[in-house]
């Protein structure tokens, strides 16, 4: 478990944050290679991860937290106090929902991402340059199988819980299907068992935004250019689907940015909601690799718990732990009725599945915002899970 | 009312259809100019329009149909039988909902569009070249005031009904606020009195898609280039918001395009829904001007019935005719609860407002698809309107 340097070379500078407290695990080193769900080989594979708490001698107190599209392994508090917050920081720590006095909490950056885990910006050793679009398509299943390798390496024998929201929730569900003997409960928020056609449609538009940008250069922009406009627009479209009209009404309404100085009839004058989306679009360009955005959104599109089994129901029937689902009433990317429908289908397949609906104006992203409600639900799920 | 040539020069070829049955009306000719809501002058202004049926001697049997974002003046049947269909053709004609044996039906291409009415692709006489981004920002109010000029010119004294869906519905509502003495009923489908922040957000993303395209050249692409990728992407984003997940589930589900031949793990392999959106994106590039797309979406963003009056309620209190509103249960651009809320607000302001909800899986675009239901509702509205 030697911390090592970040693996990404983008024009000679590593633009993505690499935490000093990060750990790295590498497997499938030459001459070995790892066979992906597609049948394509990949190796070596490095995984960036963080842990919180202490693993029990019997390796049975672990919790795996799976991050969403542009997230990373920093789920909890950064080891250096002045550094940025983790994406579920209010939920991870001593006495918190994922109580690190009791649990050994692990979060790793997913395969295909750009925060230290192998992805399209990594160096393809066979060519001596970044993979770019030569990177193989990866799936949610591949991400989870890589996570299993990491957990084996760490000596984890059982997961008290696999949990996450959005793409993270997809992984949590996939864990229960792939490794039923290892997972004792699943908490999956604002996600589905099979990605929806409208979700694919939005992802396609986001990918087009990147690929339309001449600076994308068919993916070969490393060290040369950066598809700033394309990635910004992709994130803007994404951000609309992560929020809701209720959220925009509450925060911005129809007010203009610089309301006092503005001429509302000038073409380039912006509403406050436009300025907010521009800001979100710009921000992501400082921290995320456009090719990773393409590959991870493709992995979401391909998400289908039933793939590789004789049927969707056959996949669900493998699950042996309780599954705690949560929909969000204003979510326009994963409609709450779809999440609820999955709970119904799971119960039909013999799973002890529970559905809860989070009421929030903030849309899909509520799982990264409504920590008080999330904490209550997670504590309840973990205590119910332990009764099994 | 001389039919004349289309007014658009795009690289020497007129790529937008110009119907032989079209009529043109021009006003604000030099030295006159027309003052827009912004205070900016514009002139001459040409309006492309079509009519169906015969105006009564007293000029009181007219119906105005207002088109949506990329629509044109062809609402009913084209005079040449082999030509394309009008956007509300099943609703316009002898014995149909808008019965041309009784009514004189008028539809004109809106100000800022590209089908024969003055817009950014028109020639700016003062510069001898296309307006491009020198075109002034226009509003829904400007569109309606131009339509009023046309109706005055045609000898129309009263409108039996002003009707439309989406941006067309915005115009119909604006008619009742601006010209309460002239309008005897309004039918407004899948629209609002004030455009929503999430609607502005989607429109902004669509405009960015066009403006990110290097071929857009700050709008000065006429005769030089065409922002094909940008306009296609804008239309793709738009099309997602015009449809619904239900519609995509029914039509495409998660099936792959070329399902038999495809390798689902190949990055460029497409789901059927992606192929559909690509097709919609491509189609619009053969028939619509990208700068018009920018200006008309901006006009939607600025839509606010209250602007120019002391309050929103003061604007509504001007309305003297019954208003028939229709929301669509799967609409994700104009939520049905928002349309319903407008009916409530209108009744509070003393308007005889009715709300009806169309049940359809097809989302926002249902007003261009569910003709059987639309016909029933329109017939009911017109007969109720005549009782007033």
What is the average pLDDT across B82-103? 93
Contacts of B336-340 with CB under 8 Å at 24 or more apart are B338/B192, B338/B196, B339/B190, B339/B191, B339/B192
- In angstroms, the first-to-last Cα distance of chain B is 34
- The verdict on residue A16 lying in a domain is no
| Facing B301 at nearest CB: one of A139, A205, A271 | A271
Interface of B with A in 267-306 (CB under 8 A): 267, 271, 273-274, 277, 294-295, 298, 301-302, 304
Q: pLDDT-derived band of residue B17, with 50, 70 and 90 as boundaries? A: very low
Residues A283 and A309 in one domain: no
> Among A73, A75, A300, which Cα is nearest to A197's?
A300
Phi, psi dihedral angles at B64 (to 5 degrees): -105, 125
Q: What integer pLDDT is reported at residue A20 of this predicted model?
A: 56
Residues A191 and A246 in one domain: no
Q: For chain B, how big is the Rg over CA atoms in Å? A: 21
Interface of A with B in 118-157 (CB under 8 A): 133, 136-137, 139
Q: Among B274, B296, B318, identify where a domain stops.
A: B296
What is the average pLDDT across B156-181? 98
Residues A78, A84: contact at Cβ < 8 Å?
A: yes
Q: Among A251, A276, A296, identify where a domain stops.
A: A296
- The verdict on residue B10 lying in a domain is no
Q: What integer pLDDT is reported at residue A260 of this predicted model?
A: 84
Q: Which residue has the higher pLDDT, B25 or A16?
A: B25
Listed in sequence order, the DSSP H helices in chain A are: 140-154, 167-178, 197-211, 228-242, 245-251, 272-285, 290-301, 312-316, 336-348, 371-387
Residues B111 and B162 in one domain: yes
Q: What integer pLDDT is reported at residue A387 of this predicted model?
A: 80
| Chain segment B63-82, per-residue pLDDT in tens | 999 999 999 999 998 877 66
Residues from chain B that touch A274, judged by Cβ atoms under 8 A, are 200-201, 204
The span from the CA of B130 to the CA of B112, in Å, is 13
Contact between A335 and B245 using a beta-carbon 8 Å cutoff: yes
Interface of B with A in 9-38 (CB under 8 A): 36-38
Q: What integer pLDDT is reported at residue A4 of this predicted model?
A: 29
Q: Any idea what the CATH number is for the domain that residue B207 is in?
A: 1.10.1740.110
Q: What integer pLDDT is reported at residue A21 of this predicted model?
A: 66
ipTM: 0.94
Neighbour tally for A33: CB within 10 Å: 14
Contact between B233 and A205 using a beta-carbon 8 Å cutoff: yes
Residues from chain B that touch A233, judged by Cβ atoms under 8 A, are 205, 208-209, 212
- The verdict on residue B362 lying in a domain is yes
Residues A279 and A342 in one domain: no
Q: What integer pLDDT is reported at residue A257 of this predicted model?
A: 94
Residues B126 and B162 in one domain: yes
B205 lies within 8 A of chain A by CB:
yes
DSSP A254: T
> Among A111, A41, A86, which Cα is nearest to A296's?
A111
A240 lies within 8 A of chain B by CB:
yes
Q: What integer pLDDT is reported at residue B84 of this predicted model?
A: 79
Percent of chain B with pLDDT over 70: 94
Q: What integer pLDDT is reported at residue B9 of this predicted model?
A: 35
Q: What integer pLDDT is reported at residue B263 of this predicted model?
A: 92
> Among B385, B336, B47, B324, which Cα is nearest to B163's?
B324
Interface of B with A in 315-354 (CB under 8 A): 332, 335
Mutate to test the interface with B, among A132, A135, A200, A201 (most CBs of B within 10 A): A201
Which residue numbers of A are catalytic?
A: 166, 331, 364
Residues B323 and B275 in one domain: no
Residues A173 and A96 in one domain: yes
Q: What is the dihedral of CA B194, B200, B206, B208, to 10 degrees?
A: 140
Contact between B248 and A198 using a beta-carbon 8 Å cutoff: yes
Q: What integer pLDDT is reported at residue B21 of this predicted model?
A: 66
- The verdict on residue A233 lying in a domain is yes
Contact between A254 and B200 using a beta-carbon 8 Å cutoff: yes
Q: What are the 10-residue block averages of pLDDT along chain A, 388 residues in total?
A: 32 43 90 96 95 95 98 88 85 97 97 96 94 98 98 97 98 98 98 98 98 98 95 98 96 92 93 98 95 98 98 98 98 97 98 98 98 97 86
The span from the CA of A166 to the CA of A365, in Å, is 9
Residues A241 and A217 in one domain: yes
Q: Catalytic residue among B67, B303, B362, B364, which?
A: B364
Residues B289, B62: contact at Cβ < 8 Å?
A: no
> Among A326, A384, A51, A276, which Cα is nearest to B197's?
A276
Residues A240 and A355 in one domain: no
DSSP B85: P
- The verdict on residue A2 lying in a domain is no
| Facing A213 at nearest CB: one of B195, B212, B273 | B212
Residues A278, A257: contact at Cβ < 8 Å?
A: no
What is the average pLDDT across B355-366? 98
Residues A145 and A288 in one domain: no
B166 is catalytic: yes
Contact between A277 and B204 using a beta-carbon 8 Å cutoff: yes
- The verdict on residue B17 lying in a domain is no
Residues from chain A that touch B254, judged by Cβ atoms under 8 A, are 194-195, 197, 200, 304
Contact between B39 and A248 using a beta-carbon 8 Å cutoff: no
DSSP A10: B
Residues B59 and B127 in one domain: yes
DSSP A50: E
Residues A71, A50: contact at Cβ < 8 Å?
A: no
Contact between A236 and B133 using a beta-carbon 8 Å cutoff: no
The span from the CA of B190 to the CA of A182, in Å, is 50
Q: Among B296, B329, B355, identify where a domain stops.
A: B296
Contact between B39 and A273 using a beta-carbon 8 Å cutoff: no
| Facing A273 at nearest CB: one of B197, B212, B266 | B197
| Facing A237 at nearest CB: one of B200, B230, B237 | B237
- The verdict on residue B6 lying in a domain is no
Domain that holds residue B277: 200-296
Q: At a CB cut-off of 8 Å and minimum separation 6, what does B61 contact?
A: B53, B55, B102, B103, B104, B160
Chain Cα centroid distance, residue B219? 22
Contact between B214 and A214 using a beta-carbon 8 Å cutoff: yes
Phi, psi dihedral angles at A34 (to 5 degrees): -100, 135
Residues A224 and A332 in one domain: no
What is the average pLDDT across B192-200? 98
- The verdict on residue B84 lying in a domain is yes
The span from the CA of A355 to the CA of A293, in Å, is 30
Mutate to test the interface with B, among A131, A135, A138, A198 (most CBs of B within 10 A): A198
Q: What integer pLDDT is reported at residue A15 of this predicted model?
A: 40
Q: Any idea what the CATH number is for the domain that residue A37 is in?
A: 3.40.50.1820
Residue A268 CB-density burial (10 A; 0-12 exposed, 13-18 middle, 19+ buried): exposed
The span from the CA of A76 to the CA of A89, in Å, is 4
Number of domains in chain B: 2
């Amino acid at each position: 478990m030697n911390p090592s340097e970040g693996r990404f070379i983008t024009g000679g500078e590593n633009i993505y944050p690499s935490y000093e407290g990060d750990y790295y695990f590498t497997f499938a080193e030459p001459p070995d290679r790892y066979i992906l769900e597609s049948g394509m080989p990949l190796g070596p594979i490095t995984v960036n991860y963080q842990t919180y708490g202490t693993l029990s001698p019997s390796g049975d107190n672990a919790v795996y937290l799976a991050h969403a599209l542009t997230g990373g392994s920093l789920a909890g508090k950064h080891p250096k106090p002045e550094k940025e917050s983790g994406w579920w920081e209010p939920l991870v720590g001593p006495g918190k929902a994922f109580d690190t006095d009791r649990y050994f909490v692990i979060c790793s950056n997913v395969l295909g991402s750009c925060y230290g885990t192998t992805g399209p910006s990594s160096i393809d050793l066979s060519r001596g340059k970044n993979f770019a679009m030569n990177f193989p398509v990866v799936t949610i299943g591949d991400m989870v199988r890589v996570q299993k390798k990491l957990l084996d390496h760490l000596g984890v024998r059982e997961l008290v819980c696999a949990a996450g929201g959005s793409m993270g929730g997809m992984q949590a569900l996939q864990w229960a299907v792939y490794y039923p003997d290892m997972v004792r409960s699943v908490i999956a928020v604002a996600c589905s068992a099979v990605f929806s056609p409208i979700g694919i449609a939005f992802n396609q538009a986001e990918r087009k935004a990147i690929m339309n940008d001449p600076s994308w250069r068919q993916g070969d922009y490393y060290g040369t250019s950066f598809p700033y406009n394309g990635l910004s627009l992709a994130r803007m479209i994404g951000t609309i689907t992560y929020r809701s009209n209720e959220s925009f009404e509450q925060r911005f309404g129809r007010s203009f940015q610089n309301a006092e100085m503005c001429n509302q009839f000038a073409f380039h004058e912006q509403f406050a909601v436009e300025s907010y989306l521009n800001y979100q679009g710009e921000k992501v360009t400082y921290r995320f690799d456009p090719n990773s955005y393409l590959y991870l959104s493709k992995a979401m599109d391909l998400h289908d718990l039933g793939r590789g089994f004789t049927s969707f129901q056959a996949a669900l029937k493998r699950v042996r732990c309780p599954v705690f689902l949560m929909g969000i009433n204003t979510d326009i990317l994963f409609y709450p009725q779809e999440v609820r429908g999955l709970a119904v289908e799971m119960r039909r397949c013999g799973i002890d599945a529970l559905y809860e609906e989070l009421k929030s104006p903030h849309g899909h992203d509520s799982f990264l915002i409504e920590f008080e409600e999330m904490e209550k639900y997670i504590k309840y799920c973990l205590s119910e899970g332990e009764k099994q």
